[in-house]
C-alpha cells in the first residue's frame, strides 16, 4: 500500500495521452452476462484473455458464440493458456503445449492472439523466453502504472495491472484514474468474476467484483474523459508492434 500511495503522488510528464484498459481473465460467463453490458453502455472496448479448452464445454465459461459477441463490440481476444496451470511448475513440453495449444484454439476461431496474460501472475526466465517468441506483450500482476517514456520504451513482457475487486476501495480506484490522467500514463485494470449486486459470493471470492462497482469505475473514466482502449489498440497506436 505504501508503494501504491507513493506512486499516486509522483509527477512525471510523458508524451502520450492517458489511457485505461479493462482486461478480463479466463472467460467466465459472468463476464459476458454482467461485465460486457457495463462497457457496452459506454461503447468502450476491453481485452479478454481466454482459457480456451473449456470454452463451450463447461457451463462456468462462455462459449465461442459469446466470444464472437465480444469481438463484434471491438473487444480484443487474447491468450491465457488452455487450462490455466501454474506455468513455472510445468515441464518444457507441457509449457509449449499450453501456449501453442491456446494459440491454435484461438487461431481456429479467427483470432491472432498477439498478447498474453500469465495465470496467477506467475512466470520465470524459462517461461519468459517462450512467451517472447510468441507474443507482442505479456500482462503480469504487479501494481505499477505503465509508462511510455521519451525513448518509447515499455516493459512489454511485464505489463503491470491493478486488480478491480469488490474489496478494493472505490476512491482509490478513482485516484488511480486521476493519477493516470494527470501523468498521462497507461493504467490496466484486471477483472475476473463480475457478479450481481448482493451476490453472497462477493464476500468469499477475492477476485470478484459487483456490477455496481465495475459500473462506477467505468463511469468515472467517462467523467474524466480518459480514453479507454484495448491492449492491442494501445500497442498499435504507439507503434509498439513487433
pLDDT at position 150: 34
pTM of the model: 0.90
pLDDT at position 58: 95
**Which stretches of the chain drop beneath a pLDDT of 70?**
1-17, 141-153, 182, 242
pLDDT at position 17: 56
Superfamily for 2-237? Glycoside hydrolase/deacetylase (3.20.20.370)
Helix (H, G, I), strand (E, B) or coil at 25: strand
pLDDT at position 153: 60
For residue 91, give the C-alpha cell: 515441464
For residue 139, give the C-alpha cell: 500482462
Q: What is the DSSP string of 178-211?
A: HHHHHHT-EEEEEE-EEE-TT-THHHH-TTEEEH
pLDDT at position 12: 33
For residue 135, give the C-alpha cell: 507474443
Distances (CA, A) of 170 to 20, 56, 222, 223: 16, 34, 15, 15
Asked if 138 and 123 touch (Cβ cutoff 8 Å), the reply is yes
Domain residues of the chain, as ranges? 2-237
Amino acid at each position: 500500500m505504501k508503494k501504491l500511495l507513493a506512486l499516486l503522488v509522483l509527477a512525471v510528464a510523458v508524451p502520450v495521452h492517458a489511457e485505461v484498459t479493462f482486461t478480463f481473465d479466463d472467460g467466465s460467463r459472468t463476464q459476458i452476462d454482467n461485465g460486457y453490458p457495463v462497457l457496452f453502455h459506454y461503447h468502450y472496448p476491453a481485452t479478454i484473455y481466454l482459457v480456451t479448452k473449456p470454452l463451450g464445454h463447461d457451463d462456468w465459461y462462455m462459449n465461442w458464440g459469446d466470444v464472437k459477441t465480444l469481438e463484434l463490440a471491438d473487444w480484443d481476444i487474447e491468450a491465457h493458456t488452455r487450462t490455466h496451470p501454474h506455468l513455472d511448475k510445468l515441464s518444457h513440453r507441457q509449457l509449449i503445449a499450453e501456449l501453442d495449444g491456446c494459440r491454435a484454439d484461438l487461431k481456429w476461431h479467427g483470432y491472432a492472439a498477439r498478447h498474453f496474460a500469465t495465470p496467477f501472475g506467475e512466470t520465470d526466465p524459462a517461461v519468459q523466453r517462450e512467451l517472447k517468441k510468441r507474443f507482442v506483450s505479456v500482462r503480469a500482476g504487479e501494481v505499477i502504472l505503465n509508462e511510455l517514456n521519451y525513448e518509447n520504451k515499455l516493459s512489454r513482457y511485464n505489463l503491470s495491472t491493478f486488480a478491480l475487486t469488490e474489496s478494493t476501495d472505490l476512491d482509490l480506484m478513482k485516484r488511480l484514474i486521476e493519477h493516470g490522467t494527470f501523468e498521462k500514463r497507461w493504467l490496466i485494470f484486471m477483472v475476473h468474476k463480475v457478479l450481481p449486486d448482493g451476490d453472497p459470493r462477493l464476500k468469499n471470492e477475492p477476485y470478484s467484483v459487483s456490477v455496481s462497482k465495475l459500473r462506477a469505475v467505468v463511469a468515472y473514466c467517462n467523467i474524466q474523459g480518459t480514453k479507454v482502449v484495448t491492449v492491442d489498440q494501445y500497442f498499435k497506436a504507439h507503434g509498439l508492434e513487433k
